[in-house]
Structure 1
Amino acid sequence: MRKVIVMTAILALTACGQESNDKIQQAKAASEPTVAQAPVAHWALEITEGQRATITDTTGRLMEHGFTPYIYEHDGVKHFLIGPYATQAQALETQEKIKQKPKLDGIETDIIELPASN
């Protein structure tokens, strides 16, 4: 009888240990870092307003309405941009929003594709 109790206890402990080991392995697998690709921004709006206003005036007007421009330099040429956007459709949507704001009248933009970063 004693052997049966000892064997039952050993089997029970072995089973508990296996379950705990499985849980530990699952936790380890879940905690390992996964590599996720973030959407790459390839599109932006280039501000082509011309000489009617300074960059600071244009920046101020845009920021008052929730658009944050920045200067991007590529191959020695500086570009005044809003964005970047993951898709051309997102850039087009922002361009339409700018056109609909009366206080941003005169700010012209072109949708451009940004060069791939190396």
Structure 2
Amino acid sequence: MRKVIVMTAILALTACGQESNDKIQRAKAASESTVVQAPVAQWALEITEGQRATITDTTGRLLDNGFTPYIFEIAGVQHFLIGPFASEAQALEAQAKMKLKPKLDGIETNVIELPAAN
């Protein structure tokens, strides 16, 4: 968002005839120096529920209780996950919250570390 504002300011300065290279360079430097890396999400909850329910039934139950599942492929194998979470502690907290929901009885999960993105 900030880059859009800075670029708009640069265009406005140029359009008004104030083509000061110094101002343009300062605006570019400000936008480049404020780039922040988001934390890499490395943890997830893997749904390990048996064959009792279909994925669609389980997905519906999870969504109704505030958890968004997704399918993620790891080494050619598809995994049914909830997350991702930035830390193992956050994943464990979500797992504990799931256990407190009576409508999610029978859905078992394991905390797993996701492979680093290449």
Q: Scaled by the length of structure 2, what TM-score is found?
A: 0.75
Give the counterpart letter for 2:86 in structure 1.
A
Give the counterpart letter for 1:100 in structure 2.
L
The share of aligned pairs that are identical, in percent, is: 78
Q: Deviations over 1:5-31 (max 9, x none)?
A: xxxxxxxxxxxxxxxxx9887656434
User: Which residue does 1:65 correspond to in 2?
Assistant: 65
Return closer, same or farther for 1:85/1:25 CA change in 2, 3 Å cut-off: same
**1:36 to partner: Cα distance:** 1.1
Give ranges in structure 2 of 5+ residues lacking alignment: 1-21
User: Which residue does 1:101 correspond to in 2?
Assistant: 101
User: Which residue does 1:39 correspond to in 2?
Assistant: 39
Distance 1:53 1:25 in 2: 59
2:60 maps to 1:85: no
**1:64 to partner: Cα distance:** 0.2
Return closer, same or farther for 1:26/1:85 CA change in 2, 3 Å cut-off: same
2:33 maps to 1:56: no
Return closer, same or farther for 1:33/1:47 CA change in 2, 3 Å cut-off: same
Give the counterpart letter for 2:57 in structure 1.
D
Which structure would you say has the larger Rg?
Answer: 1
Return closer, same or farther for 1:29/1:88 CA change in 2, 3 Å cut-off: same
Q: Deviations over 1:62-118 (max 9, x none)?
A: 000110000001111010000000000000000000000000000000000000000
2:111 maps to 1:111: yes
Distance 1:80 1:68 in 2: 11
Give ranges in structure 1 of 5+ residues lacking alignment: 1-21
Return closer, same or farther for 1:77/1:25 CA change in 2, 3 Å cut-off: closer
Q: Secondary structure at the match of 1:107?
A: coil
Give the counterpart letter for 2:84 in structure 1.
P
